[in-house]
Amino acid sequence: MEIEGVGALVTGGGSGLGEATARALAARGARVAILDLGRSKGAEVAASLGGDAFFAEADVTDEAAVASAVERAAERFGVLHVCVNCAGIGSAMRTVDKDGRPFELRVFRRTVEVNLVGTFNVLRLAAAQMAKNAPNADGERGVVVNTASAAAFDGQIGQAAYSASKAGVVGMTLPIARDLAKLGIRVVTIAPGLFETPLLMQMPEPARQALAATIPFPARLGRPPEFASLTVEIVRNAMLNGETIRLDGAVRMPPR
């Protein structure tokens, strides 16, 4: 799918991977809507993109708010072709901690609710809108790119909730791609490894360097524009469908 002129919705576009993706799409001629929480820099990022770009405040788990954002994007751009799901949260807690206390269920539930249910909520609403599009020469009506994590495959100690939520995103990728095939809507998931995201950059520099040293090549943290570059290629390449692509420099996470 050619990016020039498409309408795109990017969740979590106020920072990190989402911001880089929104900027990369806009730089190639896409009209971009950023969906993020009110406390994010989503409005600031949207304003910096210029043109038709706009910010929609919403929690990805809020059906009404997401539906409103999707409808607004379709109305403003005339069409919605691309949806990129970058919104997500992290959590770290052992199943039973050193004092014998069990993992807090509310933390597990919230992590899965945002990362998995929230991704599906945005995806389903965006896909329903894309289904209304006229197909292009290849029969395409839309593209959805989800964000999982290397933790979906080799989660570390304390990542039970996070790994489960991201593994769910991986697990639903192929069946949803098959569901939407008749409509000409592709679904692909990216599973990034250790990237320079706001959460990771809060760590002390020595800790970040130690993490970078675990990556075979390149021996550094991934950069958000590299995630964005892969997203752009997924949108462009019609044969990428139903797949999860690890973007991790060949890292395989140790237990801790």
**The pLDDT value given to residue 235:** 98
Neighbours of 164 (CB within 10 A): 17
- How is the chain split into domains, by residue range? 7-244
The 3-state DSSP class for residue 146 equals strand
CA dist., res. 6 & res. 27, Å (int): 12
Q: Which CATH architecture has domain 7-244?
A: 3-Layer(aba) Sandwich (3.40)
- So what's the pLDDT on residue 205? 85
Report the phi/psi class of residue 139: left, alpha or beta, with left for phi > 0 and alpha for psi in -120 to 50: left
Cβ proximity of 56 and 29 under 8 Å: no
d(CA 98, CA 87): 31
Question: What is the reported pTM?
Answer: 0.95
Residue 255 has a pLDDT of: 83
Q: Are 72 and 53 in contact (CB under 8 A)?
A: no
47-52 own/partner pairs: CB under 8 Å, 24+ apart: 49/22, 49/23, 51/26, 52/76, 52/77
Active site residues: 162
Q: What phi, psi does 77 have (nearest 5°)?
A: -95, -15
**Distance separating alpha carbons of residues 85 and 145, to the nearest angstrom:** 6
Bridge partners of 35, per DSSP, are: 11, 56
pLDDT of amino acid 215: 95
pLDDT 10s digit of each residue in the chain, 256 long?
A: 999 999 999 999 999 999 999 999 999 999 999 999 999 999 999 999 998 999 999 999 999 999 999 999 999 999 999 999 999 999 999 999 999 999 999 999 999 999 999 999 999 999 999 999 999 999 999 999 999 999 999 999 999 999 999 999 999 999 999 999 999 999 999 999 999 988 777 778 887 888 889 999 999 999 999 999 999 999 999 999 999 999 999 999 888 8
Query: Which residues, listed in sequence order, are joined to residue 151 by a DSSP beta bridge?
Result: none
